[in-house]
């Protein structure tokens, strides 16, 4: 199956623009596309976060707004690479981007592989960049507390796609589907976010030490890519 083109664009400057860009991606891709499977989940969570920013849910809404924008732009850069640099895809995103049209991979696998790349790799980078831009640091103020408030939204989204998969007829009759269920059952978004925060703190403390930064980032990208390949296995 050939891959559908993904709309590209400049970096977004607000959460509303990020949501609009995700909606454009969703409209352009068939529902079975691997990027679309992740994008739908990410769009839903981003819309919920945006609503809560306006409701005073977060102690520091300015921090959360910028973090959301920086975070989203890393994802958009990855999908833009499919058009602009198809032979040089970001290492952490390469497994999903290359397998997005592969038959035999279930939507839940694509969604969680995307979350794996975006949380375990992109989120620590986004936290560090946001703190740098705002002249703060990860351990300051309410940053970590606000970060953790998103966990509930992600947990609900993760449970929704898991329940949809588990309740489908295919799980009742397909050993392949059951094997996939066993595989993805060992991956947790909230656990990934806990690790991502620790990684962000580590990156923050070694910032400016170029050799160490490169070693950490290269190792992180390879490790995340390996995990995504495992999530995308077709038993």
Using CA atoms, how far apart are residues 118 and 74, in angstroms rounded to an integer? 8
Confidence grade of residue 106 (pLDDT, cut at 50, 70, 90) = confident
Residue 171 scores a pLDDT above 60 = no
Query: pTM for the whole thing?
Result: 0.91
- For residues 93 and 165, is the Cβ–Cβ distance under 8 A? no
> Given pLDDT bands bounded at 50, 70 and 90, which one contains residue 162?
low
Q: What is the reported pLDDT for 180?
A: 72
Q: Are 25 and 7 in contact (CB under 8 A)?
A: yes
pLDDT at 169 over 50: no
In this model, does residue 219 exceed pLDDT 90? yes
pLDDT band at 164 (very low <50, low <70, confident <90, very high): low
The tally of domains found in the chain comes to 1
Residue 6: predicted pLDDT? 87
pLDDT at 124: 96
Structure tokens that stand for 140 in this block:
């300051």
- CA–CA separation, 16 vs 13, rounded Å? 8
pLDDT digits (tens, 9 = 90+) for 58-94: 999 999 999 999 999 999 999 999 999 999 999 999 9
Is residue 25 a contact partner of residue 40, using CB atoms and an 8 Å limit?
A: no
State yes or no: pLDDT of 3 exceeds 90. Answer: no
* Mean pLDDT confidence for 113-122: 95
- Domain-located, residue 56: yes
Token representation of residue 149: 């408030």
On whether residue 120 sits in a domain, the answer given is yes
Inside any domain, residue 6: no
Which domain range does residue 63 map to?
Answer: 15-231
| 155 located within any domain | yes
pLDDT at 96 over 90: yes
- Pairwise CA distance, residues 169 & 17, whole Å: 38
Percent above pLDDT 90 for the chain = 68
d(CA 164, CA 65): 30
Residue 9 domain flag: no
Query: For residue 54, is it within any domain?
Result: yes
Predicted local confidence at residue 104, as pLDDT: 87
Tens-place pLDDT, residues 13-60: 999 999 999 999 999 999 999 999 999 989 999 999 999 999 999 999
Q: For every residue of the chain, which 3-state class applies, written as one string?
A: CCCCCCCCCCCCCCHHHHHHHHHHHHHHCCCCCHHHHHHHHHHHHHHHHHHHHHCCCCCCHHHHHHHHHHHHHHHHHHHHHHHHCCCCCCCCCHHHHHHCCCCCCCHHHHHHHHHHHHHHHHHHHHHHHHHHHHCCCCCCCCHHHHHHHCHHHHHHHHHHHHHHHHCCHHHHHCHHHHHHHHHHCCCCHHHHHHHHHHHHHHHHHCCCCHHHHHHHHHHHHHHHHHHHHHHCCCC
Domain assignment of residue 47, yes or no: yes
Residue 168 pLDDT grade (very low, low, confident, very high; cuts 50, 70, 90): low
Gap between the terminal Cα atoms of the chain: 20
Q: Is residue 8 in a domain?
A: no
CA 142 to chain centre: 23
């Amino acid at each position: 199956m050939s891959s559908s083109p993904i709309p590209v664009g400049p970096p977004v400057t607000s959460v509303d623009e990020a949501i609009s860009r995700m909606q454009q991606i969703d409209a352009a891709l068939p529902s079975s596309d691997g990027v679309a499977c992740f994008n739908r989940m990410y769009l839903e969570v981003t819309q919920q976060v945006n609503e809560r920013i306006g409701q005073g849910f977060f102690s520091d809404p300015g921090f959360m707004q910028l973090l959301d924008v920086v975070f989203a732009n890393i994802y958009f850069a990855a999908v833009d690479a499919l058009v602009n640099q198809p032979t040089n895809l970001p290492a952490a995103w390469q497994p999903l981007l290359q397998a997005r049209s592969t038959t035999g991979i279930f939507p839940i696998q694509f969604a969680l592989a995307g979350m794996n790349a975006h949380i375990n790799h992109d989120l620590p980078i986004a936290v560090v960049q946001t703190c740098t831009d705002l002249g703060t640091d990860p351990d300051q103020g309410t940053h970590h507390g606000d970060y953790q408030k998103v966990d509930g939204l992600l947990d609900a989204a993760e449970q929704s796609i898991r329940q949809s998969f588990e309740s489908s007829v295919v799980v009742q009759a397909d050993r392949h589907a059951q094997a996939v269920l066993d595989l993805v059952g060992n991956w947790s978004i909230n656990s990934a976010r806990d690790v991502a925060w620790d990684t962000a703190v580590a990156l923050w403390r070694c910032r400016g030490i170029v050799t160490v930064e490169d070693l950490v980032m290269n190792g992180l990208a390879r490790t995340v890519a390996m995990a995504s390949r495992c999530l995308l296995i077709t038993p």
